[in-house]
């Protein structure tokens, strides 16, 4: 699996001013707080239901994202993954969880921002390799099912996929 995105949703209530993450991301660049080459911060917080505020790095981006009208931490892996699809999912999820914890502990968000553990969104950000179709879901379903079993520890969950063939392949997974 390539170009895996993981979005961890924020729990309600959450801060309405996500621009407060801008100085956090700038500090992380200065302090080299994340692995890899951290490049810049892009502020799209003014765009309703948009990409929010992004920390742009060489091989990935992380953002406080408001797409779909829901705040979350979005991890976007931009570089190809050398291992299995299951390993790509595990790696992306672990990275997203780590960054979410770090953001929530920053002084700007301490006690104001929490990320849930009962719902996540997985997007395969490559329409050519992963068209949004039932066939793609069937092709990645085995590794996806194994991964979700690990994440949710056997707790029943539901998977929802957009039917829009123009959209990227994405599933939202919720604990039942």
User: How would DSSP label each residue in 87-142?
Assistant: HHHHHHHHHHHHHHHHHHHSTTTTTT--EEEEEEEEEE--TTTSBSSHHHHHHHHH
Tokens linked to 149: 């079993």
The whole-angstrom separation of Cα 41 and Cα 53 is 7
Range of the domain at 27: 4-175
How sure is the predictor about 154, in pLDDT bands with cuts at 50, 70 and 90?
Answer: confident
176 pLDDT band, cuts 50/70/90, is confident
Position 29 pLDDT exceeds 90: yes
Instruction: Give the count of alpha carbons within 13 A of 114, CB side only.
Output: 7
| Number of separate domains in the chain | 1
CA-based nearest residue to 59, from 39, 79, 75: 79
The pLDDT of residue 26 is 98
Q: What is the pLDDT of residue 87?
A: 97
Residue 13 clears pLDDT 90, i.e. is over it: no
Percentage of the chain lying above the pLDDT 90 cut = 90
pLDDT at 93 over 90: yes
pLDDT higher at 13 or 113: 113
Strand partners, 73: 8, 64
- CA distances 104 to 113, 144, 169, Å, are 5, 27, 28
Q: Model's pTM, two decimal places?
A: 0.95
Structure tokens given for 170? 């994405």
Element (H, E) at 19: none
Q: Which helix (H) or strand (E) holds 161?
A: strand 157-161
pLDDT (tens digit per residue) in 114-137:
999 999 999 999 999 999 999 999
Q: What is the model's pLDDT at position 141?
A: 95
* pLDDT tens per residue, range 42-87: 999 999 999 999 999 999 999 999 999 999 999 999 998 899 999 9
Distance CA 100, CA 72 (A): 9
């Amino acid at each position: 699996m390539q170009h895996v995105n993981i979005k961890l949703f924020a729990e309600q209530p959450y801060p309405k001013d996500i621009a407060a993450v801008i100085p956090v991301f700038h500090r992380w660049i200065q302090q080299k707080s994340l692995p890899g080459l951290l490049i810049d911060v892009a502020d799209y917080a003014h765009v309703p239901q948009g990409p929010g505020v992004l920390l742009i790095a060489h091989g990935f981006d992380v953002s406080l994202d408001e797409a779909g009208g829901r705040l979350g931490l979005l991890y976007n892996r931009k570089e190809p993954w050398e291992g299995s699809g299951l390993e790509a999912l595990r790696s992306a999820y672990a990275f997203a969880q780590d960054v979410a914890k770090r953001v929530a502990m920053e002084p700007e968000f301490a006690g104001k921002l929490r990320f849930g553990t009962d719902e996540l969104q997985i997007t395969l950000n490559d329409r050519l390799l992963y068209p949004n179709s039932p066939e793609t879901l069937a092709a990645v379903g085995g590794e996806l099912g194994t991964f979700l079993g690990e994440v949710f520890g056997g707790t029943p969950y539901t998977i929802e996929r957009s039917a829009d063939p123009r959209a990227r392949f994405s599933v939202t997974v919720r604990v039942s």
